[in-house]
Structure 1
Amino acid sequence: MADTPKPGSTPESELGSQHPESQRHDERALSGNLSNALVHENSTRRIASGNEAIDVLSRFVSAIEYTPLVAIQSIDRTGIVRFWNSMSTTIYGIPAREAIGRRLSDLLQHQDKEPEFADTIDHIWQTGQAVLPRDWQITTSAGANLWVYSTMFPVFREKKIHQIFCMDIDITLRKREEQALLALGANFRTLFDRSADAILLIEDNYFLEVNPAALTLFGYARKSDLVGRNSNDISPTTQPDGKPSSEKFSQMLELAHQNGNYRFDWLHVNASGETFWTEVLCTEIPIDSKALLYIVVRDIRERKHAEQSLQLAAQVFENSQEGILIADMNQRIVSINRALSDITGYTIDEVVGKEPQSLCVAMRDKAQFKTISDEVHAHDRWQGELWGRHCNGRGFPLWLSISVVRDSHRNVVNYIAIMTDISDRKASEEQMRHMAEHDFLTGLPNRVLLLDRLQQAIAVAERNAIKLALLFLDLDRFKHINDSFGHHVGDKLLQAIAERLTKCVRAIDTVSRLGGDEFVIMLVDVGRGEPISHIADNVLNAVSMPYSIDGNDFIITTCIGISTYPNDGTDMDTLIKNADTAMYHAKGNGTNRYQFFDDEMNRRVVERTLLENSLRSALKSSEFVLEYQPQMDMRTGQIVGVEALIRWAHPALGLMLPSRFIAVAEECGLIVPIGDWVMRTACLQAKAWQDNGHPLVVSVNLSVAQFHQKSLLKSIVDALQQAQLAPQFLELEITESILMDEAKGGIDTLRVLRNIGIRLAIDDFGTGFSSLSYLKRIPINKLKIDQSFVRDITVDPEDAVIINAIIVMAKSLNLTVIAEGVETQEQYRFLQAHGCDEYQGYYSSKALTADMFARQFLQPS
C-alpha cells in the first residue's frame, strides 16, 4: 500500500483570494462530482456482492473523504469527532489527526450561537430528525473566522442514532459578496443583471423585478412572464414535509424580517412543471415605509441528491451484513461498522488508529502481508481467504476484499476492506470434501485422497531430496471371518483395525483404505530404511492383537509389501504396483510378515536390527563415553563452558559418532536411559573440574523423548544432587522443534527448570520456525546458531544476513548468542565483529575426552 501525505490546510488569506465567480462555479461542479461518486440506491442493495460492494464503498469513501469544498464530519453521542475529511482540514485548518477523538465544541466555536448550536444537536439526538440547513459563523481552534452553510442529519444503527453527520460549505466569500451588493448603491443594477445567481425582488408577495439568471433557472423567456406574478406561482402546493408552500414561505419571510436575512432550502417548480431543490437567501431591504425582499436563489438539486445519497450510503455502511473497515492513507483504521464489530468482537474505540492487519492472524506473516500489499499497490485491490482473529483470541476463516480509493491526482486517500466470516461455509465445504475423500466405513482417506497426498508427497520428496515409503497391507484370511461371523462383524473388525493402524504412525503420515481388506500406509520423510521396518513391525504387532467383537474373540494377521521413493519408483502408479508386488511376495512366504521390494533395503534392515540389539547391551557394558568441546568467550578468549557429546565405543565397529546410533536409540526406546546416563556423567565431570578449581558450565542436549517424559525434572535434580553440582553450572540444550510442538505444559516445565537455576539454550537456532513473539514467552538464556549457517558465512551473503539478524534479535531479548561449528579465522572474525558472545568448533578445539580436555585447557597458569 502506498503512503500519500495528507493535504495541508489552506490559510484564510488564500481562501479570500478566490474570485466569487470561480467559487460559485466550483460549488456547482462539486454537486456533480459528489453525486456521481456516491452510492446509487440500486447498487447499495447489492453491497454484499463482492467487487460491486467494494466499488460502491470506494465511491462512498472517496466522496466523503476527498469531496472538494464540502467539509464532512461526524460526532458520537458524547460530541467526540469520529470522522473528519480532507476538506474539513482545508476549511478549518485543523488536521484530522488532531480533530478525531476531540470534542467538536473544542474545535469549532459558533460564536454567540453556541447554545443554539448545542440545542440543535440535542434536538437531532432526541427526535432522530434532520434540521433545516442554516448559516453559522465559526471561530476555529486554529484561529480562523468564517461563515459556513451547514446540513446535519442522523445515521442509525439498529434503530438507534449512532452518529450525526455534518456537511459544511464555506460561504465566507458569498457573505462578503451579499454585503457588498447591498452597499454598492448605483452599481447595483449592473451586478443585479450580471449575477450568475437568480435574483428576484418581491414586494407584497409579488415579483417586482427578476434578473436574467432567474429567467434561465425557472425556464421563462421574458421578464413579463414573471414580473407581477405571485411568488407562490414558482412553488409547488406543498413542501416535502407536507406543509403548504404559502404558509411555510411566510414563516421563512418572518425569520428574514427578524434576523435581517435568512437562508433556507426550498422546493421550487419551473415553467415546465418540474420541481427542483434550491438554496434561498432572503434579505429584507427597508425602502421608505415599505420592505422590499431581495431573494437570491441557487440551484442545489445535485447537492440535495448528494446529501440523500450520503445518508443512504452511511446507513448502508452501518447496517450492512458484511464487516466493513475504512483506513486512512497511512493505513490506520478510521472507522468500522457494526457487522465488523460483531465479527471480530472489537469496538470502534478499540481499533481506531490501529493497523488493519491486527485483525488478521495471517497478515502478521511478513511474507504474506508483503504479497497482499504488493498486489494492492499494483492493482488497487486484492481479495482472498485469510485467518481472522477475534478479540478473545479465537481464530476464524474470513473472506477479505481490499480496495484503494484514490483522488484525481492518483494519490491514495483511503483503503476499504470488506470482511465476511466464512466459518459456516468452510464447515459445510469441509464436510462435503470429507465425504468425498474418506471411506464411509472407517473414516480413513480413500483412494482419491491417498493419490492426491501421494502426488504432493512425491513432489516434496523430489524437491527436498528426501524419501517416502508405501506400506501395502492385505489381511490374512479376512474372507473366512466374513463367512463365519457375518459382514456386520467384518465391518466392525475393519473399523478396529483402522483405529490401530492410525495409532502406529505419525500425524504427517497417511493411513488409507483402498477397499475390501486392503489398506495403504504412506510414510513421508523417512530418511533411511530402518524406521520403515520399525513401523512395519509395530503394524504387524498391532493388527495381530486379539479382538473381541459382539461376543466373538479372534485373532487376525496381515502381510505388508513395502516400496520406497525414489529407490522403487518415482511416480504413484509404480510405487503402488511395487508395494503390491512386495505384499504378494510376503504372502507367498507365510502370514504376519513384511517384505521390501528392494533386496538391498532388506539387507540394511538386517544390519539395523543387529545394531539395535548391540545398542541394548551397550549401557550395561559401559560402552558409552563422553567427549567435551570447549565453549569460548569471543571478547576475552577464555573458556566459559563445555558441551558434553556422547560417543559409542562399539567393540566391533570402533568409535561411533551419535549420527550412527541416536536415531536407532530413539526408535527402539533407549534414548531416555542413554540421556539420563549422559546427564549424570556430565554433572559428575563438571563437579570434578570444579573441585580442582575450574568451575565450568557443562551443556547437555535434551532429546524429544526426554523432554516428554514425566520424570524429567526428577532425573535432572537427581543427577545434580548425586554430583553435588550447583544448578547454575548445568545448561540444557533444547531444539526449536521441541519448543514449537510443546503446549503450555512444556513452557511451564522450562520455567521450573529456570527457577531451579538451570540455564536453558535453544540448539540449532534458525533451522526451525520460532517467531519473535514465541521466544519472548520462553524462559531461555542462550541461542545457539546452527553450524549450517556458520559454514558458509564468508561466502554466502544470505547466511551472513541470517546470522546478523539472529544476533540482533537475541540482543533485543537480552539473550547470549553462541555459534557452533566455527572452524576458520574468517568465520571467527565475522562473528566477533557482529557481536556474537561465544563460539565453539575446531577453531578452538575438537571434542576431547575428559583427560585430554583437562591437559589442554585446565592446566595451572
Structure 2
Amino acid sequence: MWPHLAVYQHTSDALAVIDGERFVDVNPGALRMFGCAAPALMLGYRLADFSPLQQVSGVPSAPILTALGWRARQAGNLRFDWRCVGRDGREFWVDIMLTSVAHDGRQLLCAVMRETTARYHEQAAIYLALMAGVAARSRFDARARHLAEHDFLTGLPSRVLLRDRLRQALAAARRNGRLVALLFIDLDRFKGINDALGHQVGDLLLREAAARLVRCVRSVDTVSRQGGDEFVVVLADIGAIDQAAHVAATIRQAMAREFRIEAHRLHVSASIGIAIFPADGDDIDTLLQHADLAMYHAKTNGRDGFEFFSPDMNRQIHQRAALEDELREALAQDQFMLAYEAQIDFASGEPLAAEALLRWRHPARGLLLPKDFLDVAEGAGLMVPIGDWVLARASQDAARWRDAGQPLVVAVNLSRTQFMQKNLAHKVAATLSAAQLPPHLLELELTEAVLMHHDGNARASLAALAALGVRLALDDFGTGYSRVGQLRDYALSKLKIDLSFVSGGADGDVAQAAVVTAIIAIAHSLGLTVLAEGVESAAQFEFLRRHGCDQYQGRYARANGQIDGLDGLLDGSD
C-alpha cells in the first residue's frame, strides 16, 4: 500500500496492511518478526494463521481476531496484546495497534506490531517475586510492584492485579453462593477529543474519568484500566443483578457530567457491558469476553447506555462476521440489483425521475432490503464499493431509459462514507462518462445528518458536484437539525419532505400540516423544488397538491396508474 515510503521499509517496527482479515502488504520488519523469507509467505494469510489455535486464556484466536477487526473499524483504532506463532514455530507476544484507513474505496486496517515477549517475562518475574514475599523491601522493589500492578496513567489496578482480584471474588462467590458482576466500560467520543486536542488533554480526561469511576463503587470493588479509553469494574459479592444495573446507571450519570480540562469543557458518555457470574461465565476470560461483547452491543444500540450480556450476542457476532463475508461475495458475484420508485410531477401527472433503491438477492435468504445489511456494510468498510456499484448501475439504466425515449432523471442516495471521499466529484464525472449519461439526468441525494456531520467540507463538496451539472437533493428534510438559513449555503436544487410529515398532515394533525406548509413556502422562496415522499393515499395526494408541493413519490403513483406508460421500464435492474 505504501511500499514507496522509506520509513515503511526501513523502520524496525513490523508494519502490515490488512484488507478484510488478510495481509495485503507487509514490510521487512513484519517478515522478520514472523520468520518469513519472502512476502509471499505472508500475503493472503490472516493474523489468525500466525496465531495458536487458542490464546493463553483458552479463548479461540480466529473468532476473537474477527471481532477485534470489527471493533477497530468501528472505533478508528484499537490496541491489544496478542500471542503469535512464527513460521519457525517460535511463540512470542506482540503489542498490536490497529488503525482503520480508507484507501481506494476500501476500509483497510494498518497494523503496527512490536514484540513484547521480554516485557511479559519481566513483568511475570517481578510479580512472582513480589507475591513470594521478597525479603528485601527496598524502594526499588516497592516501585517495581506498583508498576507491575497499576496503570501508569491513572494509578488504577492493571490487568495483572484485576485478574488476581477477580479470581478472589469468584472463589468467594462460589463458596458463599453469591454473584459477581463484571462491567466493561468504553468512553464514547473520546477518540475525537484525543485527536482534536492532543494526548495531553486526553490523558487528563482519562485520569478524571478514572477518579469518577472509583467514586461510583464500594471499597471492596475494583476499578481497572484495560488500555486506551476502556475500563473494567468488578462488583464483588452482590446479591442480585439489579445492583449491577444501579452501579451502571450511576457510572453513566457520572460520565455524562461536563469535564473541565484546562481551558476546555468536554463531554463524553459511557457505553457499558455487563456480565454476571455464574450465569454468563464461570471463569475470568469468559466473563471478560462476554462483558466486552455486551459493551459493543450498547455502542451499536446508540451509545450512552448499558447492556447485559445474553447468549444471543455471541451468535450475533458470528452472524455479523459471516454477513460481512457474504457482502464481499455479493459484490464479487453481482448479487445486488436496483428497484426504482417514480417521482411524479403534480401539475402534469407525468413521471420526471426515478429513485434507485438497492436490493440484495441473497442466495439463501432471498431478496433483502438495505435495512437488513447496510449497517454491517458500513462497519465492514464496504459502503464505498457498494455505493460505486449503485451509482454506475443507475447511470447505465438512466442512459438506457433515455435511449428508449424516456429521459428520466435517476436519483441516487449518497451515504455518509461516500460523501466524505475527497475524489467524489471525479468519481461521479468518470461514472457519467462511462455510461454516456448527461449530468443533468443524475440527481444525488444526501440527508440532513450527512450535511451537518460534514458541514465544514459540505459546501465545497456540493459545489464541486454542482459544477459537473448534476442535480442535488436534500433527503428526509425535517428529521435533522439543519437550519433553514443554511439551505441557501448549499448548491441544492430539490428538498424532499420526510414521509412522517406527509402522513401526519394529511390525517388532520394541525402541527404537522403547518410544518409541511412552512417547508414548501420556504423552499419555494429559495428556488428549490419540493418533493414529498411516501405518498400512499388520495387524501395525502390532495393535501400536498393543495399546498403547492411540486412532486411526489410513493405507492399512490403506481396504484393511480401514473407510471403505466413506462411499460416496465422501472422494473428491477440486474
| Structure-2-length-normalised TM-score | 0.52
Structure 2: how far apart are the matches of 1:605 and 1:649?
23
Given the alignment of the two structures, is residue 780 of structure 1 paired with residue 475 of structure 2, yes or no? no
Say which SS state the counterpart of residue 589 (structure 1) adopts: helix
SS at match of 2:411: strand
Equivalent in the alignment of 1:704:
416
Q: TM-score when scaled to structure 1?
A: 0.36
> Pick from 331, 340, 358: which aligns with 1:619?
331
- Separation in 1, partners of 2:80, 2:154: 12
* 1:398-443 deviation line (CA, Å, top 9, x unaligned): xxxxxxxxxxxxxxxxxxxxxxxxxxxxxxxxxxxxxxxxxxxxxx
| 2:340–2:570 contact (8 Å) kept in structure 1 | no
Q: Secondary structure at the match of 2:443?
A: strand
Structure (1 or 2) with the larger CA radius of gyration: 1
Give the equivalent residue in structure 1 for 2:506: 794
Q: Are 1:831 and 2:544 counterparts? A: yes
Alignment counterpart, residue 284 of structure 2, candidates 581, 584, 587? 587
Instruction: Name which of 379, 382, 397 aligns with 1:670.
Output: 382
1:373-405 CA-to-partner distances (Å, cap 9, x unmatched) read xxxxxxxxxxxxxxxxxxxxxxxxxxxxxxxxx
One-letter amino acid matched to 2:400: A
Q: CA deviation at 1:585?
A: 5.7
Name the CA distance, whole Å, in 2 between partners of 1:751 and 1:591.
Answer: 49
Query: Which residue of 543, 549, 573 maps to 2:247?
Result: 573
Which residue in 1 is equivalent to 2:52?
Answer: none
For the pair 1:649 / 2:361, whether they are aligned, the reply is yes
The percentage of counterpart residues that share the same residue type is 38
| Distance verdict in 2 for CA 1:751–1:479, change over 3 Å | same
Once the two structures are superposed, residues 30-69 of structure 1 have per-residue CA deviations (whole angstroms, 9 ceiling, x without a partner) of xxxxxxxxxxxxxxxxxxxxxxxxxxxxxxxxxxxxxxxx
Find the aligned partners of 1:760 and 1:572 in 2 and give their Cα distance: 49
Task: Please give the per-residue CA displacement for 1:655-678, whole angstroms capped at 9, x wherever unaligned.
Answer: 011111111111111111000000
Q: Distance in 2 between matches of 1:615 and 1:595?
A: 22
2:553 counterpart of 1:812: no
Which SS does the other structure have where 1:673 is aligned? helix
CA distance in 1, matches of 2:493, 2:536: 24
**Map 1:160-559 → 2, pairs under 5 A:** 480=123, 483=126, 486=144, 487=146, 491-492=151-152, 515=210
Change (3 A) 1:858 1:771: closer
> Using the alignment, how far apart are the partners of 1:618 and 1:749 within structure 2?
30
Alpha-carbon offset, residue 633 of structure 1: 0.1
The code of the aligned residue for 1:820 comes to E
Q: 1:481 to 1:590 in 2, by over 3 A?
A: farther
Contact in 2 for aligned 1:559/1:586 (Cα 8 Å): no
The residue number in structure 2 matching 1:660 is 372
Q: Distance in 2 between matches of 1:493 and 1:761?
A: 49
CA distance in 2, matches of 1:800, 1:630: 24
User: Contact conserved, 1:568 with 1:578, CA < 8 A, in 2?
Assistant: no
Question: Residues 401 and 569 of structure 2 are in contact (CA less than 8 Å); yes or no, is this contact kept in structure 1?
Answer: no
With over 3 angstroms needed to count, the CA separation of the structure-2 counterparts of 1:729 and 1:663, relative to structure 1, is same
- Deviation of the 1:770 alpha carbon: 1.3
Deviations 1:208-236 (A, max 9, x none): xxxxxxxxxxxxxxxxxxxxxxxxxxxxx
The AA in structure 2 aligned to 1:587 is: I
How far apart are 1:776 and its partner, in Å? Answer: 1.5
Contact 1:683 1:725 in 2 (8 A): yes
Distance 2:336 2:214 in 1: 42
Verify the 8 A CA contact 2:154 2:206 in the aligned structure 1. no
C-alpha change, 1:578 and 1:694, in structure 2 (3 Å) is closer
What is the deviation of 1:739?
1.2
RMSD: 4.6
Q: Does the 8 Å CA contact 1:628/1:853 hold for their aligned counterparts?
A: no
1:692-737, CA deviations, whole angstroms, 9 ceiling, x for partnerless residues? 1111110000000001122212221111111011111110001101
1:776 aligns to what SS in structure 2? helix
Cα-to-partner distance string for 1:815-836 (whole Å, 9 max, x where unaligned): 0000010000000001000000
Matched, 1:765 2:477: yes
* Structure 2 SS opposite 1:844: helix
Q: Which runs of 5+ in 1 are unaligned?
A: 1-472, 521-538, 545-556, 562-566
> 1:782, 1:815 within 8 Å by CA — same for their partners in 2?
yes
- Are 1:746 and 2:458 an aligned pair? yes
- Aligned AA (1:822): V
Structure 1 letter corresponding to 2:372: R
Letter in 2 for 1:589: T
What secondary structure is seen at the aligned counterpart in 1 of 2:530? Answer: strand
Q: Is the 8 A contact 2:293 2:313 kept in 1?
A: no
Q: Which deviates more from structure 2 when the two are superposed, residues 830-839 or residues 788-797?
A: 788-797
Query: Which structure exhibits the higher relative contact order, with contacts defined as CA atoms closer than 8 Å and separated by 6 or more residues?
Result: 2
Deviation by residue 1:577-635 (Cα, 9 ceiling, x = unmatched): 97263797673439877354222333333333322221121101111000011000001
Unaligned runs of 5+ in 2: 1-78, 83-119, 128-142, 159-185, 195-201, 216-224, 235-240, 252-271, 295-308
Q: Alpha-carbon deviations, 1:4-54, whole Å to 9, x = none?
A: xxxxxxxxxxxxxxxxxxxxxxxxxxxxxxxxxxxxxxxxxxxxxxxxxxx
Q: C-alpha offsets along residues 762-783 of structure 1, whole Å, 9 cap, x if unaligned? A: 0000001111221121110000
